Amino acid sequence: MSEAAEGAQARGDDYAEAGRKLFAESCDFLWAAASPDGLPPAGAPEIAFAGRSNVGKSSLLNALTNRKSLARASHTPGRTRELNFFGLGGGIKDAKLRLVDMPGYGYAAASKEQIASWTRLMHDFLRGRAPLLRCFVLVDGRHGLKAPDQEMMDLLDRCALSYQVVLTKRDEVKEAEARLRLEETERAISTRPAAFPQVLFVSAHGGEGIAGLRAAVARLLAEQRV
């Protein structure tokens, strides 16, 4: 192995351990915002999680933080109607990182007024939130990118906010299909200006890829401090 490759592997190992330690911290609900003027004061770095209403966002947040009920998983799509903030390693003033659970999108049964309200809230948050480092866009790995996902990425591109696609439900996808899904997703985002090029594939239930997602967050925080 070359020195460059060894260095890259060492850094990857460092990020994996940093991610493990970060998400071993206490994690608690901090704040809920239903409108732009209800957002908490800026403080710790923030990462947001967006996805369709049935993508498994709550389950992923619980798996990521080693909790069973940090975020409430529901059989009723569209239940999350606010921006919910959670703090890792501290409270509203001293958390090491804030996790932001965004309202699910693409829920056809919601009223036009509800959809418009959620869209305004997300747009204002994504466009003008200084501590927000990245939005992780969760996509159902069984089906790949759909029109609502493309629309969300359009919004993120317009807001010039870095985002990274995370395919979910890895445990329900065969190995060969998973490789193809990763490749097609990476091709689809390759020309998008705000997209981070690496696509992750995770399983909230089996745990596959969760360590990699934690490492990606740890790397993001480390680079932000430089």
| Residue pLDDT, tens place only, 97-150 | 999 999 888 765 667 777 777 778 888 899 889 999 999 999 999 999 999 999
| pLDDT exceeds 80 at position 6 | no
CB atoms within 10 A of CB 8: 12
Binned at pLDDT 50, 70 and 90, residue 71 comes out as low
Angle between helices 210-225 and 3-22 (to 10 degrees): 100
The whole-number pLDDT of residue 12 equals 63
The whole-number pLDDT of residue 221 equals 95
Binned at pLDDT 50, 70 and 90, residue 226 comes out as low
pTM of the model: 0.90
Domain count, the chain: 1
Binned at pLDDT 50, 70 and 90, residue 81 comes out as confident
What are the tens digits of pLDDT across the range 187-203? 999 999 999 999 999 99
How far apart, in whole angstroms, are the C-alpha atoms of residue 89 and residue 27? 6
* Mean predicted confidence (pLDDT) in 150-177: 96
* Token code pair at residue 215: 């490492």
Coil/strand/helix, residue 186: helix
CB 77 within 8 A of CB 189: no
Cα atoms in the Cβ-side hemisphere of radius 13 Å centred on 1 = 8
* Mean predicted confidence (pLDDT) in 166-177: 97
Helix, strand, coil tally for the chain in percent (to 5): 40, 20, 40
Residues 6+ apart with CB under 8 A from 3: none
How far apart, in whole angstroms, are the C-alpha atoms of residue 97 and residue 89? 7
How far apart, in whole angstroms, are the C-alpha atoms of residue 218 and residue 17? 9
| pLDDT exceeds 80 at position 177 | yes
Q: Which domain holds residue 91?
A: 3-225
DSSP H or E stretch at residue 23: none
Tell me the average pLDDT of the chain.
Answer: 88
The whole-number pLDDT of residue 4 equals 36
| pLDDT exceeds 50 at position 13 | yes
How far apart, in whole angstroms, are the C-alpha atoms of residue 151 and residue 46? 22
Classify residue 158 by its DSSP letter. H
Domain CATH number, residue 26: 3.40.50.300
